[in-house]
């Protein structure tokens, strides 16, 4: 574990690694959670078969699109991709700036009220920046998956991988990376290897602070996500269509 003060001092290096420090404010999203505990039930009714299925992006300001207009954040770019392909899915941006994996765990039950068909988990970068114990981060990630499956065994969970700041050393970097790749392997989940691939450290794709992506950067992030998400969405749409032809819910 690294000290919190040391983590704050590596912001410039994080920009090169593609890891952004989150702001202290909360960006308004389409999902506004209460301060609920991780075991809080989510007794919402399932989305009707006739309506669009939901892709919920549970994340930090990387998802919320800190510093961008809402329609420039990558979930909105994904929505335009879905619309252009005529796919009956709706992207829900549930990103909150500054959130750690523990914060995501506190609001997962509320987020699951949306009844997602696909849940994209993007959390953990702030744990690294704040020097939190990675064993705790690992446990939180596992609990997020466990609670999502308990709520709906049929939900598809996608893990968004992240990278650590390079000056934290190769041992820490490997351990941090394995939080996401290891979770995906153990739980048999689709993995986005590195959410900010092709964006982190590229000055022209980041805002003036060198940390947060510009709109052009988030379009690349959306492509990183779509490479994994696209086949899942297409398969889910086809499966739903087959159920519909048999008159099943």
**69 is known as an active-site residue:** no
Spell out the long-range contacts of 166-171 with Cβ–Cβ below 8 A and sequence spacing 24 or more.
Answer: 166/13, 166/16, 166/17, 167/10, 167/13, 168/2, 168/10, 168/128
How far apart CA 1 and CA 135 sit, in angstroms, is 9
Strand order through the sheet with 118-122? 89-95, 53-59, 118-122, 156-160, 191-192
Express the helix, strand and coil content of the chain in percent, nearest 5 each. 50, 10, 40
136 Cβ contact partners less than 8 Å away, ≥ 6 residues apart: 101, 102, 127
Active-site pick, 61, 101, 127, 151: 61
Annotated catalytic residue, options 101, 127, 212, 218: 212
The catalytic position among 83, 135, 203, 209 is 209
Residue 173: CB atoms within 10 A of its CB come to: 17
The yes-or-no answer on residue 209 being catalytic is yes
d(CA 29, CA 7): 27
Task: Judge whether 97 counts as a catalytic residue.
Answer: no
Q: Which residues are catalytic?
A: 61, 209, 212
């Amino acid at each position: 574990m690294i000290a919190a003060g040391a983590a704050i001092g590596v912001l410039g290096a994080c920009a090169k690694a593609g890891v952004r420090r989150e702001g202290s404010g909360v960006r308004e999203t389409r999902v506004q959670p209460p301060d609920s505990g991780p075991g809080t039930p989510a007794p919402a009714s399932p989305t009707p078969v006739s309506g669009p299925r939901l892709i919920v992006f549970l994340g930090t300001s990387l998802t919320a699109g800190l510093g961008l207009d809402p329609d420039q954040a990558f979930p909105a770019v994904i929505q335009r991709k879905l619309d252009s392909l005529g796919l009956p899915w709706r992207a829900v941006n549930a990103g909150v700036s500054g959130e750690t994996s523990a914060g995501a765990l506190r609001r997962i039950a509320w987020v699951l009220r949306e009844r997602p068909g696909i849940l994209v988990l993007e959390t953990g970068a702030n744990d690294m920046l704040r020097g939190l114990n990675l064993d705790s981060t690992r446990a939180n990630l596992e609990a997020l998956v466990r609670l999502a499956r308990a709520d709906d065994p049929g939900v598809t969970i996608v893990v968004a991988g992240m990278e650590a700041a390079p000056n934290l050393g190769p041992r820490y970097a490997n351990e941090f990376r394995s939080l996401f790749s290891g979770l995906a392997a153990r739980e048999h989940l689709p993995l986005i290897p590195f959410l900010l691939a092709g964006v982190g450290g590229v000055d022209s794709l980041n805002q003036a602070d060198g940390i947060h992506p510009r709109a052009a950067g988030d379009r690349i992030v959306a492509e990183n996500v779509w490479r994994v998400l696209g086949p899942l969405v297409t398969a889910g749409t086809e499966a739903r269509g087959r159920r519909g032809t048999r008159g099943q819910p």
